[in-house]
Structure 1
């Protein structure tokens, strides 16, 4: 039996931030229902190498048996890497499966979703950084839970489902990439899987 989660990491997606709707909803739920839970939702730098380096250093002293990670889109790809390295529980929300392939068309100047005045440059070398983070089959697939929407307009649900064949999957008939019904339809399932301390 797994111990209750004492430390929770949230990793946002490409062009996103801790101000994303889902990140804020989870943060609000944690503050209200699980005040003893250590919560960290960092602003990830554009470089995948720098992002995962910051994350792994930030969780270096977290207890592996009682930590968990939630990742959305590109953050789901990062969360898969974190779970592979730590064997912690992970929830993946429409996770990116082949970002090295899919993000090549975004090389160049980009803006963030939540503040179009914020610009960053997605460098060509970031593609190789993503390739370097691709891991094979997961050693503890039962510790992952993926919520995947067939209606995702950005990612292919067939690829997402095929990536996690031995993990728990909640496959939505419709939905969208943002999981617009996250609070009402999915937040409870996410927190139940993570099983945080009260």
Structure 2
């Protein structure tokens, strides 16, 4: 695992609490590396929204922001069903089979970390969406999913949402297998919006 991946994993697991200022010297000692790879990893994580600026030159772990989470989920729940609709006419048994394989890996691999769950979740959706051959829309959705990624570990630990998420994944897949594109899109929209509302409600009610 690269230093970038390790720090990202630790952020997702809650090792560094929101609001924590990250110092290159401390991280270099923590991960037993020089400051240069730490600097590079922090800059990459900052560019992806995992970290934010602090003061003139510092970097910190951003607070969880209910408004940001709401904006991300509102955009996703409108764009992803649209992308799925475009993809539906090109879906075939091979693609749907690969999507089912991804879900079964999630079910049958014990002890998956939040980052691994997030990666398989994105792989499942991308398996379906890529058939649309709408590169701009696909890239926009992928970026929104990436921005949501830092909330996944928090959501998994705090809300125990994975079982519900998997049930909805299977419902989407089964609707597509029946040729019910409208039904699949409806379940997908509900899948995104219900997770988003649960997270936003929890963040808004979380004590400071």
TM-score by length of 1: 0.26
**Higher share in helix:** 2
**Rg larger in 1 or in 2?**
2
**Higher share in strand:** 1
Q: Which has the higher contact order (CA 8 A, sep 6+)?
A: 2
TM-score by length of 2: 0.25
